[in-house]
Amino acid sequence: MDAPRTLIVEDEFAVAMELEDHLDALGYRVVDHVMTGRDAVERAADTVPDLILMDVHLDGPMDGVEAARHIRAAHPVPIVFVTAYSDDETLQRVADTAAVGYVVKPFDERELYATLEVALQTHALQQDVARANDALRELLDGLRDGVALVDADGDLLFVNDPAARLLDTAPEQAAGRPWWQVLTVHADAQATLREWMEAPRSDRAPVRVSLRTDDGASYRVDVEVRPDPRDEARRILVLHDVTEVHALRRLLDDQDRFHDLVGQSAPMQDAFQQIQSVAGVKTTVLIQGETGTGKELAARAIHDESPRADGPFVPVNCAALHPDLAGSRLFGHRKGAFTGATDDREGFFEAADGGTLFLDEIGDVPLDTQRQLLRVFEEEAVTRLGETESRPVDVRIVAATHRNLDEEVEADRFRQDLLYRIRIARVTLPPLRNRQSDLPLLVRTFLREIRARTGAEVTQVSDAALRHLLDYDWPGNVRELRNALEAALIRASGTVLRVDDLPPELRETSSDPPRSSDNTAERIRAALAQTNGNRTDAADLLGISRATLYRRLDEYDIE
């Protein structure tokens, strides 16, 4: 191996000569000896040595520590400091330059040799690590998925190029910032991600978020939280860009799907038209429907179809608000406004400024908070608890309830003036029992989504199992259907979902037709949809004769 080329920086000539003698004896090659920090910077650039021996205290405006900083900024050369001082301040200044060695005068040749060899080996290892990191970064930058490394304090350590594109930032600008300041998503998604950052599990489904850049680009992204196998305190965020998949699904299901709502029945097509008609205006909308019919999905569709789609969508479950804290959560509060108010906090109205605020189960809002809501609606401004000055807010309100608000007004549990204010425009979502012709489509849709999330093998539902699904009244509506199918897929073995896989309440349903004529017509439409219009198969699925099916087709005017 060639002798290491060494530059000596020492302002005492005798000491420099002594160092040179030692280096010659140890087999090192001295390329030059300079006496000032400025000369050291210039000669390091000219000669690019393998090693520099640098005196800490040099005459002139630039001492050895400052010279080392300049050199290290331009060349990754190992530097060993030489000094007669070993006080804490000197040691700290030396350490700040990422030096790889430190020799105290007078010199012992054996100690000098050991220090120089360790310095060269350390530098070689550092270069190997740097090359490995560069290769890893190049590999990560070449991935389709975004990757971000988060330290124990929640600060970003690394962001690859795909993640930087989705987050609308540069990797170097993201590093050192808290992840939640860079990954700006709606409050519910951020709360879920915060929870998972505390205790990640590999079996959790990704969080679907929407990201928008300053140039107007919009992305649908699935965010996963994974532990870092190299450090249990760190986390890895994986960002899957599913924008094209989402757009393709929207294209393929255009007739049966409106945003994330699914249905081809007349009641659902009517609901889609209602949503489109109210989306383009700022007026308040009241979504009515039983629990589980998809009111939040409808609210999101209204937001995404509106001119406010680039703004925030903030969903609030009013039924979950504590009566004593409802005003604080909605309108915000000032520090010290009440016991436990330890800092200033914005409310949901301010969080939704420029976008849409979805007040789910608005019928559960306390009466005193209803009065404040009405004032905010009328003045388009909020006053935080503990303050007197109002803050203007530009918010589109979409409310929802499963209650009969007229009956709530009669019972003095809901303000009539607030009711008039929130139901200027209305959207009504039908219960699943009134659109059972959508059930086969919903089953296929949910099976596909659950398979993608859980890895289940089920691809179809047996006729007997589907008959039980059609016979059931679905008091929990679409939400209950999704949960029932997920529970069934956990029990199922093989590719076909059978009756024995269904939850008990579904297995015990009677095959007798429902009493309601509307429900009977819906069951017939669902059976025809499942069998692609084959009437013989539809009659078998319904458990009736072909003659009975024909009579009912005529009776309910079903083509």
Domain boundaries of the chain, sorted by first residue: 5-133, 142-245, 259-430, 433-555
pLDDT over 70 at 140, yes or no: no
**Res 216: pLDDT:** 66
Sheet of 396-401, strands arranged across: 313-317, 356-360, 396-401, 285-288, 425-428
Instruction: State which amino acid sits at residue 425.
Output: A
pLDDT band at 245 (very low <50, low <70, confident <90, very high): low
For residue 511, give Cα distances in angstroms to 468, 507, 520, 551. 7, 10, 12, 19
What mean pLDDT comes out for the span 94-113? 70
For residue 40, give Cα distances in angstroms to 114, 185, 301. 24, 51, 66
Q: Right CATH number for 5-133 from 2.120.10.30, 3.30.465.10, 3.40.50.300, 3.40.50.2300? A: 3.40.50.2300
The answer as to CATH 3.30.450.20 being correct for domain 142-245 is: yes
Same fold? 5-133, 142-245: no
In our burial notation (b when 16+ CB lie closer than 10 A, e otherwise), range 371-409 reads ebbbebeeeeebbbbeeeeebebebbbbbbbbeebeebb
CA angle 16, 18, 23 (to 5 degrees): 95
Q: Describe the crossing of helices 517-530 and 546-555 by its angle, rounded to 10 degrees.
A: 120
Q: What is the pLDDT of residues 318-357, one digit of tens each?
A: 988 888 888 888 998 888 778 777 788 888 999 999 999 9
pLDDT band at 515 (very low <50, low <70, confident <90, very high): very low
- Of the candidates 258, 250, 330, 349, the one whose C-alpha atom is nearest the C-alpha of residue 299 is 258
Whole-angstrom distance, CA of residue 21 vs CA of residue 14: 11
Strands 496-497 and 356-360, how do they pair? Answer: unpaired
For residue 121, give Cα distances in angstroms to 30, 78, 125, 516. 19, 10, 6, 85
**Res 511: pLDDT:** 45
User: Do residues 341 and 333 touch, judged by C-beta distance below 8 A?
Assistant: yes
Whole-angstrom distance, CA of residue 228 vs CA of residue 61: 46
User: Between 555 and 480, where is the model more confident?
Assistant: 480
Q: What is the pLDDT of residues 144-179, one digit of tens each?
A: 788 888 998 989 988 888 888 888 888 888 888 999
The model's pTM is: 0.53
pLDDT band at 548 (very low <50, low <70, confident <90, very high): confident
User: Between 196 and 244, where is the model more confident?
Assistant: 196
User: Between 268 and 91, where is the model more confident?
Assistant: 268
* CA contacts within 13 A on the Cβ side of 528: 17
Least confident of 27-31, 53-57, 407-411, 502-506: 53-57
Query: In this prediction, what percent of the chain has a pLDDT beyond 90?
Result: 27
**Which H, E and C letters describe 113-128, residue by residue?**
HHHHHHHHHHHHHHHH
The answer as to CATH 3.40.50.300 being correct for domain 259-430 is: yes
Whole-angstrom distance, CA of residue 143 vs CA of residue 236: 15
Q: Architecture of 433-555 per CATH? A: Orthogonal Bundle (1.10)
